[in-house]
Amino acid sequence: MQHLRRSVSSISYLNRSSLSRCTRFFATSTELEEKVEIPNYIQRSPTTILRALSQTVGFDPTAAHYKYHDDPYLIPLSNVGKRSFALAMESGRKSAKFIRQQHSNLFQHREADPPIEAFLPTKMYTIDSQVEISDLTTSIEHSHVSDAILVYALLKKNNVELTNDVKQSLLELLCFYNCEEPLEEDMIEERWFRQNQRLKERNRKTWKDNDTAEQLYYEIEPKTPQTYACIIRGMCKYYQVEKAYAIFQDCLANNIKLDVDCFNSILNVVRFIKESADLRWSVMLDLLKTMKEKGVSPNLGTLNACLNSISEMGSKNAKDYAIQIMTEFKNIGIEPSLASYYHILHTFCKDRGPVSHVLVDILNEIEGKEFEMRDIKDTMFFVTAMDVCRNHLYDLNLAKRVDAFLHFGENYNLIGDSYKESIYYRNYFTLLVQAEPFDKFMADYYHILVPHVYIPEPSVMEEILKAVEVTGAIDNIPLLWSHMICFEQISRDNLLALIVRIMLQNKPDLTIKTQENLKETFSHIAWDIWSKIEEKNELRSKPVVWTGKLLGDILRIICTSEDIDRASVIMEKLLNDQQKILGESDYIAMEDYVQLCITKKQPSKAIQCLQYCTEIGFNESKNLAKTICKGFTLDENHTRRVVRYAGESVIQEIEKEMQEESAAKNVTQ
Amino acid sequence: MLKIIQNLRLTPLTRRSVVNIRWYSDGESSDDEKKKSKFAKKKSNNALKRLNELLESMPTSKTSEKVQVITAKNKRQEAKDEKMNQKVSEDPTDLKSITQTIARKIGGNVQQTESELLSALLGTSFEQKGSLSEIIGGLKIESEKPKRQISKAQNVRNIIGQGRQQRDAQRAPREKSQKQTIVNLFGGKPLNIFTDSAVVPDHLETWSKLEQREMKLTVTHPPRNYFEKMILWTEEGKVWKFPIDNEQGLEVEKNTDFTEHVLLEMHLEGWCPTRGPVRHFMELVCVGLSKNCFLSAQEKRDHIMWYKEYFESKSEVLGDLLKLGLNESDQPKQIESNV
């Protein structure tokens, strides 16, 4: 401390006041504490500073996802668009890679020193190439499965002796990927948008029998415990259960030490080993006891494997078993991961079973904790939890809790992929739109999440429109319609019918400020529906089939805004394309149209409508003819046409009525 | 009319539908009813005929006569039926009266508003704004279908709580009154098999590496901002990693001293003449190399050694040239000095 003070005072250019402040500081600090503790150097990873910086970038609901914002003009606004844009970008990257790989001789210059390995073309192997053991090890290291298989075959052909270690790691690679080439590491978008195929093939055997992996297994001599463990794990992973279980039992009989993951894989497929629930449970207990006997200590994988098997066991006692397992593992200090809770949900909330509120208890347990990936099925939790909220419990508050939990810390990483994310939001949105007040739903959720985070699928859009119909919040119709265009949902018959029905049944209230211009807007929307579909039908090979009802409704909406030109276009469509149009339109539409013709003084158009009515065969066409005759002063030509469509009797009736009327008038006079 | 219809089918299920019919035909004009009863009568005659035929065809021998066994009444079933009956007969009338009162309160065309309300409530697509009887006429036919046994009240309830309408209807009725039971996730009876856990590293190295990789890739989502992209690129080794160091990745250079880069003339010793054009040239080469930051020290040495070999292979030619040069070189010097 003394020498510090000396050094400070020796700096001559410090002015006096600051110097005195410094000395005072030193004086007081010596009084308070003697030791200055210098914190230890913290080892930072190369990405620490980047992570810190990345956390400063907030979430902006009005902005497109980062991957799309390179070209604002091309920001996609539909699910299909999002998918294809992102994949197109990746595809470009892929083709660049391909060119680099195919024509590596053209790229001789060294861009970087030291060279960046990720950009270098990989070594290509053919049947004739000269290979060494090092080629095999690098292929394994980079998990290039097909290369590894080829190199291994070449080495065998050249009678190169391989050590058992190399063979073992090759076996592990082949077993892990079932002799199939995995998706490359940097294909992030593809991984994100790929629909998880493993889910679909959940209960199917996909293990390749007698492929390289199995051959290699037979070749390795002498077999170590690792060899057995590896083949059992691989077979269980791809549901070749019979063989796996046979090898497993051989190992037990011959006292070969198996590891915990090996037991886990067998526990995971218990439902394929035995038929009935009770037998399955007893097999599981036996396996656990064997583990104890052999001195194998369980881990998280054991817990999840047990819970997974219980959830698909189909036993009445499944819930008790699950709780027992959870307690057992809690007692020995194994914290469940999200996958464990997913299995619990799966066990308790069966489609046909009674309602279970276990999700509440799970949330009480895990809320406010940050989870990280510990099991490959951890990503199933959120999508299942939201599904339970909507379809099982129908509980909005719970759904909100789940959503809050998802957005806690880094938990959003565990949402899975785009497919799971969209199902999650589909359930969440449907629940919100049904249970929240509509205005609140629009303000708090719709405007924030749509379209950049989530784009409602047609089914969700239908729910939203239904909510509009029930609440009468018709000022949202223009917005929803424009979104429907963006999201490419205008070829959905049910949505069109619904939106048209809403516009028809809810007359805008002119006294409300937000609805002042709605009448015009509705008419525009109706016209838009018409022109958009016509436009599409010209281009598409599979056109949308017009129904008479829809056209009639559109006609009615247009009639309310008294736009005779547009209305008559639709009327002509009705008249000329009768064969292509399904069904007939309502008579009311015809009446509205004729009234419009009368106000706009267009007798020939009105008579066209009469023609349509008679061709369709409306009973009321006579009345229509009367309305026409009364509404216009018809010239000879027109009268003749009216007679042709409606018959002589109409004119006579009208004349009679007129005479009666005038007679009545005369009487009163 | 009711009796006739009741005669037709006697199961409790159809009784429900009958009740529905009664409700709908309450407010109707007699026109529809007459048609209906005619139709029903015709049908009942047919049915009677058929029944008689069946009776005749039955075996009449005494042995086959059924012995009447007195059994206890199935009370539970009866109570259930009664309850259902009551429920159904109550609810729909309620609905109807409610819609009527609402329609009256609204005023205007009472009948039309009523029919609109009904159609909206029942969720069926009765777009036609016809009279109430039209809608009801349509419903009556449906209500006779024994296919789906949902009461109208249930139907209305479904529409009001739209959430699980379809699923519920198809599903066996759930105990909805079930109270929220708390599940203690860790409150079960433990199996008492294990006593402790220990973290044992996986002995399949490649497998565990692949598993880790797979899990990491599952949570690696498309980057959300530029920094995340940088993180990704850093991890893939595509960009320089922090902290920035312009000798990153040049591991060989870490162990070489700068003197090896700069002081190169010592490599000339032993082979290069101490004076003359070759020496002059090689000194220039050394200066150039010492300033070159793109070659490693070893490469610089190799470069010099290349010249060494070159000059040695050309030593004969050089020797001749140098001799000539020595003679001639005096002249330019002179000229120079002259200039």
Cβ distance A113 to B296 under 8 Å?
no
- Going by pLDDT thresholds of 50, 70 and 90, the confidence category of residue A185 is confident
Q: In the numeric block, which tokens belong to residue B125?
A: 């697509």
Cβ distance A326 to B186 under 8 Å?
yes
pLDDT of residue B306: 95
Please tell me whether residue A556 adopts helix, strand or coil conformation.
helix
Phi-psi category of residue A314: left, alpha or beta, with phi > 0 → left and psi -120 to 50 → alpha: left
pLDDT of residue B172: 40
What share of chain A has pLDDT > 70, as a percent?
A: 93
A356 or B48, higher pLDDT: A356
CB contact under 8 A, A226 and B192: no
Question: Any CB–CB contact under 8 A between B160 and chain A?
Answer: no
Please tell me whether residue B136 adopts helix, strand or coil conformation.
helix
Distance from CA of B129 to the nearest CA of A (A): 9
Question: Any CB–CB contact under 8 A between B314 and chain A?
Answer: no
A101 or B30, higher pLDDT: A101
pLDDT of residue A622: 80
- Could you tell me which residues come within 8 angstroms of residue A160 by beta carbon, excluding any fewer than 6 positions away? A132, A133
Q: Which chain A residues touch B211 with a CB distance below 8 Å? A: 176, 376
Q: How far is CA B310 from CA A464, B290, B306, in A?
A: 85, 21, 6
Please tell me whether residue B276 adopts helix, strand or coil conformation.
coil
pLDDT of residue B197: 77
Q: How far is CA A362 from CA A335, A385, B187, B188, in A?
A: 13, 10, 13, 15
What's the first-to-final CA gap in chain B, in angstroms? 142
Q: Which chain B residues touch A374 with a CB distance below 8 Å? A: 215
Q: How far is CA A168 from CA A85, A241, A247, in A?
A: 42, 21, 17
Range in A75-89, A153-167, B82-96, B124-138 with the lowest mean pLDDT? B124-138
Reported ipTM: the value is 0.83
How many Cα atoms occupy the beta-carbon half-sphere of A592 within 13 Å? 22
* Contacts A–B by Cβ distance under 8 A: 222
pLDDT of residue A5: 42
pLDDT of residue B129: 43
pLDDT per position as a tens digit, B109-164: 777 777 777 766 665 444 444 445 454 544 544 444 444 555 666 666 665 555 44
Cβ distance A76 to A85 under 8 Å?
yes
This prediction's pTM: 0.73
- Going by pLDDT thresholds of 50, 70 and 90, the confidence category of residue B180 is low
Rounded to 5 degrees, φ, ψ at A206 are: -120, 0
CB contact under 8 A, B128 and A299: no
CB contact under 8 A, A172 and B205: yes
Q: Which amino acid, one-letter code, is at A322?
A: A
Distance from CA of B269 to the nearest CA of A (A): 32
Cβ distance A346 to A377 under 8 Å?
no
User: Which of B113, B203, B205 is best to mutate for the A interface (most A CBs within 10 A)?
Assistant: B203
The DSSP code sequence of B27-77 is T--HHHHHHHHHHHHHHHHHHHHHHHHHHHHS---GGGPPPPPP----HHH
Distance from CA of B289 to the nearest CA of A (A): 18
Q: How far is CA A599 from CA A573, A658, B233, in A?
A: 22, 21, 70
Q: Please give the Cα distance from B135 to B153 (Å, whole number).
A: 17
In words, the CATH class of domain A551-669 is mainly alpha
Please check the confidence at residue B76 and state whether its pLDDT lies above 70: no
Q: Which chain A residues touch B200 with a CB distance below 8 Å? A: 259-260, 297, 299
CB contact under 8 A, A54 and B218: no
pLDDT of residue B157: 61
pLDDT per position as a tens digit, B249-294: 877 788 888 999 999 999 998 888 888 888 999 999 999 999 998 8
The interface residues of chain B toward chain A in range 218-277, judged by CB-CB distance below 8 A, are 218-232, 234-238, 241-242, 248-250
Question: Any CB–CB contact under 8 A between A180 and chain B?
Answer: no
pLDDT of residue B57: 67
pLDDT per position as a tens digit, A522-532: 999 999 998 88
Q: Please, what is the average pLDDT of chain A?
A: 86
pLDDT of residue A344: 93
Query: For A481-508, what is the mean pLDDT?
Result: 89
What share of chain A has pLDDT > 90, as a percent?
A: 41
Question: Any CB–CB contact under 8 A between A259 and chain B?
Answer: yes
The interface residues of chain B toward chain A in range 273-302, judged by CB-CB distance below 8 A, are 294
Cβ distance B312 to B272 under 8 Å?
no
Query: For A355-374, what is the mean pLDDT?
Result: 90
Distance from CA of A352 to the nearest CA of B (A): 7
Cβ distance B146 to B17 under 8 Å?
yes
Cβ distance B115 to B130 under 8 Å?
yes
The interface residues of chain A toward chain B in range 123-152, judged by CB-CB distance below 8 A, are 140, 143
